[in-house]
């Protein structure tokens, strides 16, 4: 299946989005999702189909569409200016109409005409497109309601009856005000993605003929070398080949502490170089950078639909036709009950005006846009809305041990020198011996000692056992207890050190816990989420980690396929299971869980595997994701409640004649603005750490 994202023009309410989506999904081999808040359609389609045929289908429905260009930010300024012009003119012309008794009827008609047909032309245009496509939307309701009031007023002007020019003009003015405010609020909701797109650097510096030349970052290809000056944004993903510095990677991970960068380290597009100059060879450019992957992921998630949206889609599909029916019934009942059609005209118009389904269509997508964008800024990447909704339901969280609860690499956890030997002296000799070794244990020992190293001669590695060498003309060796013919009492890895035929002590190494693991597990337990460890490691190692974290349920020696069986068993017990792993070797278990979390900062593979990726490599991000899930779903439910209750109460009041069209128009405009504004409150959410 191919996928294309389309910019859709002409949508004004949930009924529009529902109609386009329904018509697209009628095509064989097409799966479409239309988002009113972003004015976009995401379409998966059979490769046999052409994109042009999909766009034509949208045009046949009464709207327009074009292929969205990745990385392009939709310009809202022109729409703002047009909406402001239309509203300001309508407001100026409508204001005198509010002095109903003081303005002659002919002048009322003169003032109302440009409001009806110039300021309100967008409603006629939208209504015509909708009706031509065989549907009815908000524009149909507004155009029909205001036209009835306007035409009747001209008829009444010659008959000496009561005029309703102010009703039609005020409704159009207030709807235009609502549209303007709604557009501003929608733009604010979209800024999280825009901010990510703007992080993509536009320039890079390459050396040509000994001179540093500025080039377009988009022109770089994998293998090209470029230079990063102090304070510059890194142009593309790459590997450092010369220089030393640090980088601020907060835009990827949410962590503000700078990360050291030396030869061999990887750097990422959009992150900011620190105090040193780096020479970098490009490894990922264009769509292959981690930042580009994040932007795609956020955009897809913002455009997806949670299961809770299904009810809204079903309601929206029949909403406008149902409202037209209610308006007709209202007019008929008033006419029958009073014997005068005139008395039923205004309640019918009020029903048409107040029943706009905009708030219903914006309730879910705006909350998702803000929630997913806010999560991305905190280093939590959410693949889709279904994952966001599932995260809140998790009651059992399964952890892989190595690389998830632990760092996934050895570290020095203790130094046990013999009498008369200091820890520093023991580490110095060990680090000097290991400095030329590439073994992970050797790197951990060298990392643990930050001082000046001693020169080593006659260095030799003994495969699988240890290393030997000469320091100051005296023999030294380092290695496992068996290599030294000694015994070490303990369940962890220990490296012994000898110098000049004297045993100096032990250096104890272990796969250390991540600094935040203990606090994160405690918080999960306080949220009534049971932590479980499934690991392929030895029982002794898993038991030690489980005891340190206070996790009662664990299994060791579990193969990847066995993890899947265990997750299935938990699900059969009625548990909602989350799985946290490294995003690659735990892929089967991640896929089996209801929602999966991967800790993999900078790993492109994690973006392809997990439902939720934690760019900070910090388990507290799982708690943040669950808390944000709850906050976003709460906003969605609040919005849906406001939208439904607004119509449930508003339509009967309008039908009973208790709301005139002007008040109905104001209420309709404010309902959409209130829903979007409520979603924007999610920007106040902050990660707990």
Catalytic residues: 400
CA-based Rg of the chain, rounded to a whole angstrom?
33
**Residues sharing a CB contact under 8 Å with residue 675, sequence separation 6 or more, in sequence order:** 359, 362, 363, 366, 639, 642, 643
**Residues sharing a CB contact under 8 Å with residue 658, sequence separation 6 or more, in sequence order:** none
Tokens standing for residue 471: 């320091």
DSSP state of 515: T
SS3 (DSSP) at 406 = strand
Distance CA(331)–CA(449), nearest Å, equals: 87
| H-state helical runs in 96-137 | 105-114, 121-132
What angle in degrees, to the nearest 10, is found between the helix axes of 620-655 and 341-354?
A: 170
Burial track 548-568 (b if 16+ CB lie within 10 A, e otherwise): ebebeebbbebeeeebbebbe
Phi, psi of 610 (to 5 degrees): -90, 155
Give the strands of the sheet with 457-462, arranged side by side: 406-417, 502-513, 493-499, 474-479, 466-471, 457-462
Contact 628, 375 (CB under 8 A): yes
SS3 (DSSP) at 367 = helix
SS3 (DSSP) at 416 = strand
| H-state helical runs in 529-617 | 539-549, 560-572, 587-592, 604-609
β-partners of residue 207 are 212
Backbone angle region of 66, left / alpha / beta, with phi > 0 → left and psi within -120 to 50 → alpha? beta
Output the CA angle 19-300-202, nearest 5 degrees: 125
């Amino acid at each position: 299946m191919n996928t294309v994202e389309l910019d859709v023009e002409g949508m004004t309410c949930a009924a529009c989005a529902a109609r386009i989506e329904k018509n697209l999904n009628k095509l064989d081999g097409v799966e479409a999702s239309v988002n009113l808040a972003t004015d976009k359609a995401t379409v998966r389609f059979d490769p046999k189909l052409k994109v042009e045929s999909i766009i034509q289908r949208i045009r046949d429905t009464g709207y327009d569409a074009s292929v969205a260009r990745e990385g392009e930010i939709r310009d809202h300024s022109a729409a703002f200016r047009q909406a402001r012009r239309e509203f300001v003119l309508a407001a100026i012309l409508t204001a005198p109409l509010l002095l109903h008794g003081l303005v002659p009827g002919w002048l009322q008609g003169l003032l109302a005409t440009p409001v009806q047909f110039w300021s309100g032309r967008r409603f006629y245009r939208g209504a015509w497109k909708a009706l031509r496509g065989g549907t009815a939307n908000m524009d149909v309701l507004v155009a029909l309601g205001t036209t009835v009031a306007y035409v009747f007023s001209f008829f009444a002007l010659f008959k000496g009856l009561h005029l309703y020019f102010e009703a039609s003009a005020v409704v159009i003015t207030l709807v235009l005000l609502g549209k303007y405010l709604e557009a501003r609020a929608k733009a604010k909701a979209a800024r999280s993605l825009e901010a990510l797109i703007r992080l993509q650097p536009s320039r890079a510096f390459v050396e040509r003929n000994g001179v540093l030349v500025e080039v377009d970052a988009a022109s770089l290809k994998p293998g090209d070398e470029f230079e990063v000056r102090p304070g510059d944004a890194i142009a593309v993903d790459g590997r450092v080949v010369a220089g030393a510095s640090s980088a601020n990677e907060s835009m990827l991970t949410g962590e503000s502490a700078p990360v050291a960068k030396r030869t061999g380290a990887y750097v990422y597009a959009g992150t900011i170089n620190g105090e040193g100059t780096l020479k970098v060879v490009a490894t990922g450019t264009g769509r292959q950078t981690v930042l580009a992957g994040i932007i795609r992921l956020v955009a897809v998630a913002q455009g997806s639909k949670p299961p809770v949206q299904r009810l809204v889609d079903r309601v929206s599909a029949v909403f406008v036709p149902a409202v037209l029916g209610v308006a007709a019934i209202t007019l008929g009942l008033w006419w029958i009950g009073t014997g005068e059609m005139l008395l039923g005209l205004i309640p019918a118009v009020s029903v048409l005006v107040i029943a706009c389904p905009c708030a219903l269509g914006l309730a879910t997508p705006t909350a998702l846009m803000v929630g997913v964008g806010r999560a991305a800024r905190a280093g939590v990447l959410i693949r889709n809305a279904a994952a966001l909704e599932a995260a809140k339901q998790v009651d059992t969280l399964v952890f892989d041990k190595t690389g998830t609860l632990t760092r996934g690499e050895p570290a020095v956890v203790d130094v046990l020198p013999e009498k008369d030997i200091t820890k520093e002296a023991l580490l110095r000799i060990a680090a000097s011996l290991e400095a030329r070794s590439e073994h992970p244990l050797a790197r951990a020992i060298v990392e643990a000692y930050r001082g000046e190293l001693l020169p080593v001669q006659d260095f030799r590695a003994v495969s699988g056992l240890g290393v030997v060498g000469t320091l100051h003309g005296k023999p030294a060796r380092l290695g496992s207890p068996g290599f030294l013919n000694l015994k070490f009492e303990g369940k962890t890895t220990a490296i012994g050190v000898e110098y000049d035929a004297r045993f100096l002590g032990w250096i104890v190494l272990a796969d250390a816990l991540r600094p935040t693991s203990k606090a994160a597990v405690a918080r999960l337990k306080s949220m009534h989420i049971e932590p479980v460890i499934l690991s392929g490691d030895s029982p002794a190692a898993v038991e030690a980690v489980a005891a340190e974290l206070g996790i009662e349920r664990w299994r060791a020696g579990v193969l990847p396929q066995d993890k899947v069986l265990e997750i299935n068993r938990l699900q059969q017990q009625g548990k909602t299971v989350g799985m946290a792993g490294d995003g690659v070797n735990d892929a089967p278990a991640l896929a089996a869980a209801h929602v999966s979390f991967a800790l993999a900062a900078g790993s492109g593979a994690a973006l392809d595997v997990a439902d939720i990726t934690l760019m900070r490599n910090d388990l507290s991000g799982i708690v943040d994701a669950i808390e944000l899930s709850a906050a976003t779903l709460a906003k969605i439910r609040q919005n849906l409640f406001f939208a439904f209750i607004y119509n449930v109460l508003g339509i009967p009041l309008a039908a009973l004649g208790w709301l005139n069209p002007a008040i109905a128009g104001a209420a309709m405009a404010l309902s959409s603005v209130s829903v979007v504004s409520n979603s924007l409150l999610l920007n106040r959410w902050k990660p707990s750490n």
